Amino acid sequence: MIKPQVPKQSARIFKNKHLEALSKVHPSVPLLIYTPVIIFFLYRAFLQLPVLLGILFFVFGTITWSFTEYVLHRFLFHHPFHSKLGKRFHFIMHGVHHQYPQDPLRLVMPPSVSIPLAFFFYYLFNFFLGESYILAFYPGFVTGYLIYDMLHFAFHHFHFTNPYLQTLKTHHMKHHYLDSKSGFGVSSKLWDYIFLTHQFRKKIKNNN
């Protein structure tokens, strides 16, 4: 198991103290924000959809999140930006995490980013699924997101005895400390295997 020696606190990324505060978040915050959202949608789904159909769309939502997680991580967070503005965007969104991966306040998505994305994905999926099926699909999607956030925090701060979780942690640590051009899945390795990004090469410099 890779055990790198890295600083636990990250650098300041905004001069403005309010923007700096918005870039940090305690790992419990996503749970406090989105657990009521999940309960609200599941309650409405229970009233309007057959149970088996609701379960089907809930599971479909969690799988859709895992794919979304992979796509965002691979094609947005690790996009090879070349402009000064693009590099600045990359550092704020993800680069700072690769430079300071143990910072406990930058391991889950801050509400300043996650809430706008939550609204975006809700209206996107509602357009395709309609107001009935979204009631079960959306809480599944948000549950997938919470699992991702909580696992991501745990992988950087806890040891696991469960073989499956230990394998996922090793997969993510290799992404950080061996080859950041592979291993984009955090809560699942499925899409890395499907899109052939599961094999890690030797340490590559300046590839974050």
Whether residue 11 lies inside any domain: the answer is no
**Could you please report the per-residue DSSP string of 82-119?**
-SHHHHHHHIIIIIHHHHSTT-TTSSS--HHHHHHHHH
Q: Which residue segment(s) compose the domain that 85 sits in?
A: 27-194
Res 8: pLDDT:
55
Whether residue 2 lies inside any domain: the answer is no
Structure tokens belonging to residue 149 = 């956030």
Which residue did the predictor score with more confidence, 203 or 170? 170
Which residue did the predictor score with more confidence, 204 or 117? 117
Closest alpha carbon to 70 in 205, 172, 139, 201: 172
Q: 112-171, pLDDT tens digit by residue? A: 889 999 999 999 999 999 999 999 999 999 999 999 999 999 999 899 899 999 999 999
Which residue did the predictor score with more confidence, 52 or 109? 52
Residue 10, pLDDT > 80, answer: no
Whether residue 153 lies inside any domain: the answer is yes
Res 96: pLDDT:
80
Whether residue 4 lies inside any domain: the answer is no
Residue whose pair of structure tokens reads 């997938």 in the numeric block: 144
Q: Confirm whether pTM is higher than 0.75.
A: yes
Average of per-residue pLDDT across 67-81: 92
Sign of the CA dihedral with 10 first, then 13, 16, and 21 last: negative
Residue 107, pLDDT > 90, answer: no
Angle between helices 51-71 and 29-48 (to 10 degrees): 140
Whether residue 108 lies inside any domain: the answer is yes
Tell me how many domains the chain contains.
1
Whether residue 202 lies inside any domain: the answer is no
Residue 87, pLDDT > 80, answer: no
Residue 3 pLDDT grade (very low, low, confident, very high; cuts 50, 70, 90): very low
Whether residue 85 lies inside any domain: the answer is yes
Whether residue 14 lies inside any domain: the answer is no
